[in-house]
A and B are shown apart, each in its own frame.
Chain A
Amino acid sequence: MDRVHLFDRTSDLLKVSLDIRSKRHLLLVSNIANQDTPGYMARDISFKSELARAVAEPARDRLDHATGSLTINTDETVGNDLNTVNIELEMQKMASNTGNYNALASIVSWKYRMMGDSISGEGR
């Protein structure tokens, strides 16, 4: 019989996913704050490749910002101050990232509630 893990792989994945989402949120907020800074280039990370990397190398510090999938938008020059922030795109990215973050947080909450229910033996 397999060992039963209290904090299983799903919990780990949820934790890593929340980490990546909040890291991406920081980058998006930084892009929004610097929308009028001359020479600032918009940055972003890919959730998919960050998650794949976190699964492949679980020991790595996940809050390290110097990450592999960091992309810097250099081609889309809006205006002539070399700022590459597209504010509409950033707001859309932030909304979708936050939606995903909240969904993940809800799933974590449900998971712990299920655990609590099985410990107390009462169904709700």
Chain B
Amino acid sequence: MGFSDALRISSSGLEAERVRLNVLAGNLANADSTRGNRSGSYERQDVIFAAVAPGQSFSDILNSPKDSPVKEVKVLGMVRDPRPLTMVYDPDSPDANRDGYVAHPNVSKLEEMTNLIDASRAYEANLTALDTTKRMASKDLTIHV
């Protein structure tokens, strides 16, 4: 456990936030996509973050009960938002059902923008942490006679 672990943890944070940024950008871009998957309208995606011990695979963590207090962050996967789709009355649309309603994605642009700012700030915090670790490590090299 040294600075290489600190660097690895910070870069895991950067990676996780970047994945989150990508997913959020996808949500924003598809906020009006009435087609997108087999069932019809695009559905909002979200990422799942998990805190895992650094440098271990998921199965390692499952199999070893020993718990380290130092954790890196890992993107476990993506989930579909369970909130219902918004039904909009638009009988002229080619995607309208028999009653004239079109299923629009369950994406709130306001919410996505807020999440986007949050993710970008979290990315910056990890970047600052990475830079701090780098400076601490190079400070070590100044120890000489």
Contact = CB atoms under 8 A, between A and B. Distances in A.
- Do most interface residues of chain B lie in helix, strand or loop, or is the interface mixed? helix
B6 A35 contact: no
B125 interface: yes
B128 interface: yes
Given A25-B133, A32-B126, A109 B6 contact: no
A73 interface: no
A33 B68 contact: no
Interface string A18-29: 000011011111
Interface residues of A, number: 38
B73 A33 contact: yes
Interface stretch (A1-9, A47-55, A94-102): A94-102
A58 interface: no
B16 to A, nearest CB: 7
A22 B136 contact: yes
A36 interface: yes
Contacts of A109: 142-144
Nearest to B127: A32
Interface of A: 22-23, 25-30, 32-40, 43, 63, 65-66, 70, 72, 87, 91, 94-95, 98, 101-102, 105-106, 108-109, 112-113, 115-116
Interface of B: 1-3, 5-6, 9-10, 12-13, 16-17, 20, 49-51, 68-73, 118-119, 121-122, 125-126, 128-129, 132-133, 135-136, 139-140, 142-145
5 contacts: A22-B2, A33-B9, A39-B51, A72-B69, A87-B125
